[in-house]
Amino acid sequence: MKVLVAIKRVVDYNVKIRVKADQTGVDLANVKMSMNPFDEIGVEEAIRLKEKGVVTEIVAVSVGPKETQETIRTALAMGADRGILVNTGSQDVEPLTVAKILSAIAKAEGPQLVILGKQAIDDDCNQTGQMLAQLLGWPQGTFASKVVVEGDKAEVTREVDGGLQTVRLTLPAIVTTDLRLNEPRYASLPNIMKAKKKSIDEKTPADFGVDAAPRLKVLKVSEPAKRKGGTKVKSVQELVEKLKNEAGVI
């Protein structure tokens, strides 16, 4: 069976971002960009399913600017078979737009499973997988920490409030990854070289009849309130005294 993995190019998780002075957004000039960590976990999961013989082909799909090619190359170097880039230029795209594009691609490609990250660490929306599931009319296993495919079912163990929940989904289905699903591999040098020869199809939202214009109007992006920390205490006794008499929280 075929698997689609959706990946997003985001600001690297180690970068401390800066809000632009004019409050129009976040300063992305010369900032290190990487594959969204949850999507790396998604790519890894697809590769493991292929290694187990469950999956025959992995298609890595991304919606984003031209540079997203690099992110797709990373997925190909990890082990995905081919890529599709839906180029949205400098336009910011919302999860609903991405879900509509992925839905059109899923209809054309006919995968049994689409794996996405549970959330992108830039917009922190946590929406795309669920939206895609609804648009396709498929079941979903979100926040997955274990995925077992057997016949026409997938058993997905999910990280929920209070612990773990396991659901059984009739394929085709959507899975979104959580941190504990696996530890993604690094691409080896030979695989990075090989990935250069794998194909990446380039498309635009219009090819799928999707209007990529955002629905929400961003009025401003501002700095969060700053905490005034940094005070040290010398001993546990002083700490307890301060919590009691100064802060009054115990």
Other CB atoms within 10 A of residue 247 CB: 8
186 near ligand FAD, rule: CB under 6 A:
no
Output 89 or 214, the one with its CB closest to another protein: 214
Output 81 or 178, the one with its CB closest to another protein: 178
Output 13 or 186, the one with its CB closest to ligand FAD: 13
222 near another protein, rule: CB under 8 A:
yes
Site string for another protein, 83-122 (x = CB under 8 A): -----------xxx--x------------------xx-xx
Output 13 or 240, the one with its CB closest to ligand FAD: 13
| Residue 188, contacted partner among ligand FAD, another protein, none, CB below 5-8 A by kind | none
37 near ligand FAD, rule: CB under 6 A:
yes
- 9, 28, 70, 224 from 122: Cα distances, Å: 9, 11, 18, 15
Residues 141-200 that bind another protein (CB under 8 A): 141-143, 145, 155, 158-170, 173, 178-180
| Residue 162, contacted partner among another protein, ligand FAD, none, CB below 5-8 A by kind | another protein
- Asked whether the CA dihedral 10, 13, 15, 19 is positive or negative, the reply is positive
138, two tokens: 């498929």
Specify the 3-state DSSP secondary structure of 65: coil
Residue 46 contacts residue 54 (beta carbons within 8 Å) = no
Q: Which residues of 65-96 are buried (b: 16+ CB within 10 A; e: fewer)?
A: beebbebbbbbbbbbbbbbbbbbbeeeebbbb
111 near ligand FAD, rule: CB under 6 A:
no
214, two tokens: 């955002």
